[in-house]
Amino acid sequence: MTEMSPGTTVTCPHCGVVVQLQNLEVGPYRGGGKYSKFDAIYFEGPNPAALFFSRCAACDKAVVQIASGSNRWLVIPRVGIRRPLHPSVPGNLRGDHDEAALVLNDSPKASAALSRRCLQALLVMQGAKKRDLKDQLEEIEPTLPQYVQPYVDHVRELGNLSAHAKQSIATGSIIDVEPGEAEWMLELLEELFDHYYAKPAEAMARQAALKAKIADAGKMTPNVNT
């Protein structure tokens, strides 16, 4: 996960704006005292860790991150912002996606497992006939727009679906994931949701609005000056 300490330039997990994080004022403390500016608190010992305190310069909300070794987790906000799903996305797919996003920082393994289950359900709903996730991806890929295919390629490479038969046969199992795999799975799902649900629904809404506009225009009496 990206470092989120004061001075780093990141995408704010609250508002999605790319900003340089600022120091966060913390306090007053129990028993009184003034507000103080902190950038980090370090914990020594057998399992050293650090808490990084910062705030977004755009929305002014607090961003707190804990780091231990090479691992980092968001504390505030609990989950980083993701693009909102279109209302047309079916509830079962939405539920798995949202849960995968919720546990992404705590357990990339669990997040990827939920995303793989969601992806396989989506592919079956869109006409995939084969059994394994790897084969289903290959089956459906020629029907996808060009801008979506790189996401499929990244998931295939990161997930190493060819090497891990268990991953493609038992989609929901909790197995090791490559760095970045869980994030790419969520991105792929969101691109596919846009392709299969959001864009067709928006196109239908625009067509309905245009038809209504033309119908209303046909009912209007021309204004002819005599």
Q: Would 40 be classed as within a structural domain?
A: yes
Determine the structural domain holding residue 51 and report its residue range: 9-76
In a domain, 225, yes or no: no
Q: Which of 60, 96, 56, 53 is nearest to 74 (CA)?
A: 53
Regarding whether 178 and 117 lie in a shared domain, the answer is: yes
Could you tell me if residue 113 is inside a domain?
A: yes
Q: Are residues 128 and 193 in the same domain?
A: yes
**DSSP string over 45-105:** SSS-EEEEEEE-TTT--EEEEEEETTEEEEEESSS---PPPPTTS-HHHHHHHHHHHHTTT
Q: What pLDDT score was predicted for residue 46?
A: 85
pLDDT of residue 133: 84
Establish if 84 belongs to a structural domain: no
**pLDDT score at 121:** 94
Q: What is the pLDDT of residue 11?
A: 86
- Specify the number of domains making up the chain: 2
Which residue, among 12, 53, 224, 192, has the nearest Cα to 116 in the 3D structure? 192
Q: For every one of its 226 residues, what pLDDT tens digit does the chain have, with 9 covering 90 and above?
A: 678 888 889 888 888 889 999 988 765 555 555 555 567 788 888 888 988 889 999 999 989 999 888 788 888 887 777 888 899 999 999 999 999 988 887 888 888 889 989 999 999 999 999 888 888 888 999 999 999 988 888 887 776 554 444 444 445 555 677 767 888 899 999 999 999 999 999 999 999 989 888 888 877 655 655 4
Residues in contact with 167: Cβ distance below 8 Å, sequence separation at least 6, in sequence order: 116, 133, 159, 160, 161, 173, 175
Dist. CA 215–CA 196, nearest whole Å: 29
Of 113, 81, 99, give the one whose Cα is nearest residue 11: 81
- Give the pLDDT score at 174: 58
- The reply to whether 26 and 110 lie within a common domain is no
Question: At which of 47, 76, 105 does a domain end?
Answer: 76
Shared domain check, 202 and 101? yes
Is 224 a member of any domain?
no
13 Cβ contact list (under 8 Å, min separation 6): 4, 63, 74, 77, 79, 80, 81
Are 55 and 8 contacting, i.e. CB atoms less than 8 angstroms apart? no
Q: What is the pLDDT of residue 144?
A: 92
Domain assignment present for 2: no
